[in-house]
Structure 1
Amino acid sequence: MRRRRFISALGLDIGRKRIGVAGCDGTGLIASGLTTIERKSFDLDLAQLKSLVQERRVQVLVVGLPYSMDGSLGKQAQEIQKLASRYAGALQLPLEYSDERLTSFQAEQLLQAQNISPSRNKGLIDRKAAALILQQWLDERRV
């Protein structure tokens, strides 16, 4: 019988004002939103991430990368890559990227389907977007 290797990953949806954070269950099958970090400074944001990494024994960071619709990386994607690299280096974790095109839109649609106002729940959108990013990465690993 083949033993399945479990992984603990942390998914991040990095925005200018907030970072949506998601984690996966013990089986590495299901992603769910954990929290939203209000961005203040690199060090304060890192401290919150470090706490989650230790608590959840995270082995890899999965960051959503906002590709342009034509598949290219724009200025915002390059800024996210720089910041994600700094986080990964400081946390001593491998870094992987997942295409995050339309995840915030999907997250808003999910909230609207639950009769929750997206405009009043920006942090929830960021968390759900992070969960969608991480879920996509988990699903790609299973194929």
Structure 2
Amino acid sequence: MVSALGLDIGRKRIGVAGCDRTGLVASGLTTLECRSLEEVIARLRQLVQERSVEILVVGVPYSMDGKLGFQAKQVQKVAHRLARTLHLPVEFVDERLSSFQAEQLILAERRSPSRHKALIDRKAAAIILQQWLDHRRMAAK
């Protein structure tokens, strides 16, 4: 199975998720503060080495009509830069509702979404990666 990192790239934070060795379950790993690109790259490089990552899976926030808006293009630009720097391929996943789903999970845990933004980013990254894993598993059948 392939080792992947799921990324929910935002302006202030990047949620990061990984998958288990079987490639069945994605879980949130960490949330990176976007103070500097160099700092983000250093932390991602460390995770890539620790987890023997082979691919980046990045959520793209398409608009509800399925078009690439400004934010989606920015996310793709950052993702391609990270992939080039880390020498990894990148695949994109439609993440239109992943943050909303993550907020719903936080609410179900009786927590306040406004106080747990980093947790939302991690959960959104896990949702993105899980979608990708599920899609690959279905395509392999």
TM more than 0.5: yes
Which residue is equivalent to 2:112?
A: 117
Q: Which stretches of structure 1, 4 residues or more, deviate above 2 A after TM superposition?
A: none
Matches within 5 A, 1:67-82: 67-82=62-77
Matched, 1:98 2:93: yes
Q: What TM-score does the superposition give when structure 2 sets the normalisation length? A: 0.97
Matched, 1:88 2:83: yes
C-alpha RMSD of the superposition: 0.4
The number of residue pairs the alignment matches comes to: 138
Matched, 1:36 2:36: no
Matches within 5 A, 1:11-26: 11-26=6-21
Distance 1:21 1:141 in 2: 19
Corresponding residue to 1:49 among 44, 52, 55:
44
How far off its partner does 1:116 sit?
1.1
Question: Matched residue of 2:2: which SS?
Answer: coil
User: Between the two proteins, what is the percent identity of the paired residues?
Assistant: 68
Distance 2:122 2:19 in 1: 13
Which residue is equivalent to 2:133?
A: 138
Kindly provide the amino acid, as one letter, of the partner of residue 36 in structure 2.
S
Give deviations 1:44-89, integer Å, cap 9, x for gaps.
Answer: 1100100000000000000000011011100111111111000000
